Amino acid sequence: MNKRIVVVGSSNMDMIARIPRIPSPGETVTGGEFAMFPGGKGANQAVAASRAGGDVELIARVGNDLFGKQAIAGFTLDGIKTDHMIRDNETASGVALIFVDRQGENSIAVASGANMKLSPGDIDAARDVIALANTLLLQLDIPQETVKAAARIAHQRRMRVILNPAPWNPIDDELLRYISIITPNKTEAEMMSGIKIESDADLSTAAKILQSRGVETVLITLGAQGAYLLGFGLRERIPAFRVQATDTTAAGDVFNGALAAALAEDKPIREAVHFANAAAALSVTRMGGQPSIPFRNEIDAFLNASPGLS
């Protein structure tokens, strides 16, 4: 079975302050705790896919600095192939500054650094690697022309292409036509569709609008309310798992990485989403980006102890 997953995206160092509440503009909030972990949406999703059982290669650009070297060493420990990670001698690695409040909600500012220099030329150099994969997983925290270049190669090879449209940027219809599955959260789905989502009927309308722009399957993630699926002949909400959230920083990335791993194993879509929901639920009970990401045995044990899909 070809379980190869190529992730194209960002790699950052996450600097996290856990504080009583998120500061308002101009306000200083004291009494926090500081931690530093590797992160970035592309990197997080690659780690999540690998720990969930996928055979993963990450295409990204980091600075030729301490953070970049630490990131690559961490990927290697997680079994992720890094042959097409570029070390940039001119630009620093990306950094994310993250506030996390007592309820586990977060506010994030990103200095993208080398991530924004990942180019279509870098993608072309990795064309053969992409073509050999089962699934391509993408986000929007690198230049959109680079995202499009990768999606175009995969689409031409009739591969599965998953796009997590975060952080939000307007997406042109050419890119959407290359996408097999798009995974916006509620806010992103509202911005893409122009629909204010307040009910399942609104979810259905928003998803249909996205499908009309060329995407095959729409999967709107709803945090503790699960995920809404339109595609594969299905139209339904797939429930989440009840857990006590500590830090939601990487939950969406964990969901997408685990989803890619499950689909690369040819799991049916509902089972794959259920698996991804379980991985995300485990992640929010832990602090940090990549340190919060569960391993396959943990996800399987969690699922075995939880109610199954009916």
Which are the catalytic amino acids? 253
Which residues does 9 contact at the CB level (< 8 Å), separation at least 6?
Answer: 40, 41, 42, 43, 45, 46, 58, 59, 60, 115, 137, 138, 139, 141, 142
The SS3 of residue 231 is strand
Q: CA separation (Å) from 131 to 3, 136, 265?
A: 13, 9, 17
Rounded distance between C-alpha atoms, residue 253 and residue 47, angstroms = 9
Give every strand in the sheet of 94-100, ordered side by side.
33-39, 12-18, 94-100, 106-111
Dmax over CA atoms of the chain, in Å, equals 54
The SS3 of residue 180 is coil
Rounded distance between C-alpha atoms, residue 161 and residue 181, angstroms = 6
Say how many C-beta atoms besides its own lie within 10 A of residue 188's C-beta: 22
Tokens found for residue 170: 């307007």
Question: Do residues 270 and 235 touch, judged by C-beta distance below 8 A?
Answer: no
Q: CA separation (Å) from 302 to 214, 237, 266?
A: 36, 20, 20
Query: What's at 6, amino acid-wise?
Result: V
Q: What are phi and psi of 169, to 5 degrees?
A: -145, 145
